[in-house]
Amino acid sequence: MVRWVHIAAGLVAIVAGFTALFAKTGSPLHLRAGDVFVFAMVTLTGTALYAASFIHPNRGNVVAALVTLYLVTSGFLTVKRDVAAARGWYVALMILGALATARAAWLGMVAVREGGVDHFPAGVFFAFGFVSLSGTLLDWRLLVVRRIEGAQRLVRHLWRMCTGMWIATASLFLGQAKFFPDAMRGSGVLNVPVLVVAGVGLFELVRVLRRKRKARLSAHQAESSKLGLQLRD
């Protein structure tokens, strides 16, 4: 039963994720698809955690599920609740990120010593640990500042959701490649969805950052012009 729920949630997450990825940001379709994506991803990672812990133990899958769950839920919370209104949730997710980081780092060191852990090389654990550590440190900074708005909010949302989507897409098309026909595996077509998620995610992130930079320059120029007028007066 857990297996079929996991598979169904994964398929829904992929469809909803791609819909949200290509829908206009902030549009009703984007918002609805995003909500479905998050619900499916929570179900997907929850069943993955259960299966990897109790049914088919695999410590690498546990780390992947923890990091993905952390990224998606923290990215979703960013656009749903302000820091002041949901500080407890922000703290809880930061702790989840810290735990995922510690687990990934520990298993990475074990993998270095033993040549791998449950078919996962050390580099994969360290990559997951780096991602979750980056998110956790940014969570700490956010809790200190106590607010996030504008482009910063969108950047936080984008990189977390897109990274979670990328992990899910790579897990399906590359991690489960054996379930696809030989012709698809040999042609390299299974790489396309993974590259698309990475490419679109990076494009949107750069676009938001450029827009943020332009807005900052415009504000600086307006302030300089205002100061110049005051000096002439």
**pLDDT tens for the chain, residues 1 to 233:** 899 999 999 999 999 999 999 999 889 999 999 999 999 999 999 999 999 999 999 999 999 999 999 999 999 999 999 999 999 999 999 999 999 999 999 999 999 999 999 999 999 999 999 999 999 999 999 999 998 888 899 999 999 999 999 999 999 999 999 888 888 888 889 999 999 999 999 999 999 888 877 766 665 555 555 555 555 55
In-domain check, residue 23: yes
Q: CB burial class (10 A; 0-12, 13-18, 19+) of residue 209?
A: middle
pTM of the model: 0.91
Q: 100 in a domain, yes or no?
A: yes
Q: Which tokens is 10 given?
A: 């994964």
Model pLDDT, residue 122: 97
Counting the structural domains of the chain, the total is 1
Q: How far apart are CA 159 and CA 84, in angstroms?
A: 22
Q: What is the DSSP letter of 120?
A: B
Residue 132 lies in a domain: yes
Closest to 86 (Cα-Cα) out of 139, 11, 155, 19: 139
Q: Is 175 part of a structural domain of the chain?
A: no
228 part of a folded domain: no
What pLDDT score was predicted for residue 186? Answer: 85
What Å distances lie between residue 224 and 60, 218, 221, 228, CA to CA?
54, 10, 5, 6
pLDDT at 210: 87
**How is residue 147 annotated by DSSP?**
-
The answer as to whether 12 is a domain residue is yes
In a domain, 104, yes or no: yes
What tokens appear for 31 in the block? 């918002």
Domain that holds residue 80: 2-164
**Nearest CA-CA partner of 34 in 81, 82, 76, 86:** 76
Flag whether 188 is in a domain. no
